[in-house]
Chain A
Amino acid sequence: GESVGLHLPTLSVQEGDNSIINCAYSNSASDYFIWYKQESGKGPQFIIDIRSNMDKRQGQRVTVLLNKTVKHLSLQIAATQPGDSAVYFCAEKEPGGFKTIFGAGTRLFVKA
């Protein structure tokens, strides 16, 4: 069935350190993946995306890595800041369809 999940439900990091949030997906036909950030009381906010023809994509302080062999993707946040504290979701676009399938999320705590 549809499954996009996360390895760890919570992650605590020291301010200034790098954060790595992991995600596994099950549909080998999936060709588009997105990371979202959700702060309390707000809707999910797009962070970065990657297509299956890439294995790495960089944004501002964020990098997404995709390993299609093991169906795994990760979000790396450099120099984590208190404002990065939120729940992070990986998501995949349904191949040939309209919907986005979200995982359960990882809560990131940034310690000052």
Chain B
Amino acid sequence: DTGVSQDPRHKITKRGQNVTFRCDPISEHNRLYWYRQTLGQGPEFLTYFQNEAQLEKSRLLSDRFSAERPKGSFSTLEIQRTEQGDSAMYLCATPGGPSSYNEQFFGPGTRLTVL
């Protein structure tokens, strides 16, 4: 258990619906990352927050995707008008480890299936 929690763990939705995922990071860390992982591939960077500021967004994050971190603690990732190609595991990560400043602790992920 890394201390990073994500909710829900699984989400099945129909194409065109909106979905929202939540990440609760390890407390006291100001950095938070979202990644997307499709089957058989490594995680792909989506976006990065430092406190409540979204400092970087990937080209993968189309205008249907929006992420927020309103109070610099938990974060939400919303996908509007979902498409089948959005089916993936969405991972949240925060740094924080005694061995490395850059080490990232990942949550268990939210697996999205778009029918």
Contacts and interface: CB of A to CB of B under 8 A. Distances in A.
Contact of A43 (B41, B99, B107): B107
A100 B106 contact: no
B48 interface: yes
Contacts, number: 62
Contacts of A91: 42
Nearest to A94: B45
A43 B45 contact: no
Contacts of A32: 102
Interface in B41-88: 41-45, 48, 55-56, 58
Nearest to B48: A98
Contacts of A42: 108-109
Contacts of A68: none
A93 interface: yes
Give the interface SS of chain B, mostly helix, strand, loop or mixed.
Answer: loop
A103 B40 CA distance: 10
Interface stretch (A13-21, A44-52, A77-85): A44-52
Nearest to A90: B42
A104 B91 CA distance: 16
A51 B106 CA distance: 21
Interface in A63-110: 89, 91, 93, 97-105
Interface of A: 4, 32, 34, 41-46, 49, 89, 91, 93, 97-105
**10 smallest beta-carbon distances between A and B, as pairs:** A102-B42, A43-B106, A99-B45, A98-B48, A46-B103, A89-B42, A44-B106, A102-B43, A49-B100, A98-B56
